[in-house]
Amino acid sequence: MDSWLLSGFAIQHCIASGLLGPTTGLDSSLNNHGLDRFCVWNHLRLTHLHYCVGTRRKASIDRDDIERCRVILRLDYATNFESRMVTEIFLY
């Protein structure tokens, strides 16, 4: 099993289980636990996009999923690291 397939399975599992799935209506009063969940979700997106580019395969996420990664920037606890991660996602 390669990393592209593994990251795609992880994304599909998170969406299907609702564990880290895409959400649109967030308020800025979300706690650190919510920030951690979005950080993991963005890491999954970024990892999958890395392997898509490296292996020339199609991504399991669509443009709407990529747009939703900006949600983390509206949270009070977001740091420079999360901002750089979102920027790197948008470079792909």
- Tens-level pLDDT at each residue, the chain (92 residues): 789 999 999 999 988 887 765 554 455 556 677 778 888 889 999 999 999 999 999 999 989 888 888 888 887 778 899 999 999 999 98
Q: What is the dihedral of CA 72, 78, 80, 86, to 10 degrees?
A: -10
Each domain of the chain, given as residue ranges in start order, spans: 3-20+27-91
pTM here is: 0.80
The H-assigned helical ranges of 18-79 are 32-55, 63-68
